Amino acid sequence: MTLLIGTSTKMNLTSTEAGAYLDVLRPLLDDVTDREVFVLLPFTAIWVARDRLTRSRIRWGAQDVHPDDAGAHTGDVSAPMLADLGCSFVEVGHHERRRDHDETDELVAAKVAAVQRWGMTAIVCVGEVERRPLEDVGPQLERQLRLLSDFDRSRLVVAYEPAWAIGVGAQAASPPWVGQAHAAIRELLATPGGPASSSSSSPAIPVIYGGSVDPNGAAALLAEPGVDGLFVGRSALDPRAFAAIAHTPI
């Protein structure tokens, strides 16, 4: 399975700032050939990624999408609009979207359908809100994943992002915790009749970790079995720090 290293800049970087950011980042990643790197920018800056990153090794995408392809949805952005901008990945279901916009598992699943309908890969964020014993986390993860069973596994990524490890002042989950959580997610994905279950011939769904990832902790996280990549937040706002994480040896 190809290692995935990506970032969402969240509500940061104007189109002008994104251009400067990508101009620094692109040459730093020219030598990365053994993994896939992606950047998810605000809607207003995706066209900059298309212009700056075409014919580079870096793929780009969006941080959200509306489940409908068109219609009277003022201010929203549809999957065909994102596909037209060359997006490869679209993030859905992030904790901040669930918290700030009351997004439900059903809405997240509808967004996954829209993303895949237009040939892109959906990155579905899952994770618990409060730090609890891991055995208590399983049911919450199962609820978040249960509606994904009918989707194309080859265009689906699961990002484990515990809310307690996200944001300024937070600390990344420990590598052993992440390893155990990823094992639990993989078990859920493989359980017959369970969320996103499949036959043995179906492609495995990558499970990546996000939550206060930085250059110092990246190697230990990637060393955990079942961690297929990293989803970097605020550390990646420094393109050199993001490039360092993207170069982390495995």
Q: Identify the active-site residue in 36, 91, 94, 128.
A: 94
DSSP-assigned letter for residue 108: H
Instruction: Please tell me the distance from the alpha carbon of residue 244 to that of residue 247, in angstroms, as a whole number.
Output: 5
Burial of 16 from C-beta contacts in 10 A (0-12 / 13-18 / 19+): exposed
User: 115 is written with which tokens?
Assistant: 């993303």
Of 36, 91, 103, 161, the catalytic one is: 161
Burial of 58 (0-12, 13-18, 19+ CB in 10 A): buried
Eight-class DSSP state of 205:
P
Does 94 qualify as catalytic in the annotation?
Answer: yes
- Angle at which helix 15-28 crosses helix 46-53, to 10 degrees, equals 30
Q: Which residues are catalytic?
A: 94, 161
